[in-house]
Amino acid sequence: MKVPRDISGRDVVRSLCRDWKYRKIHQEGSHIILQTEVPSHHRISVPDHNTIRIGTLINILGLIAIHKGVQREDILKSVQGHD
């Protein structure tokens, strides 16, 4: 999986809310807190940066993939497909 280096935190948040049933709870400083109840309770923090560091993005994708029972690539396609 080739992970792009130009994805912003807001792009990730927008995709997770639209396609993966997360919702924005609040913002703490430069981090946006998202939560879902599907398939169970899960809360995650996404940095509100113009470009998310590649390691941070891979970690976020991995955590969501485990929770949703999908591949990281599926979530990444969602994020990339809606610029």
pLDDT per position in the chain (83 positions), as tens? Answer: 788 899 999 999 999 999 999 999 999 999 999 999 999 999 999 999 999 999 999 999 999 999 999 999 999 999 987 54
How much is the pLDDT for 40? Answer: 97
Q: What angle do CA 25, 73, 60 make, to 5 degrees?
A: 35
pTM, two decimals, is: 0.91
How much is the pLDDT for 81? Answer: 78
Residue spans of the domains in the chain: they are 9-81
CATH number of 9-81: 3.30.160
Q: What angle do CA 39, 30, 34 make, to 5 degrees?
A: 10
The residue among 44, 35, 46 whose CA lies nearest residue 12 is: 46
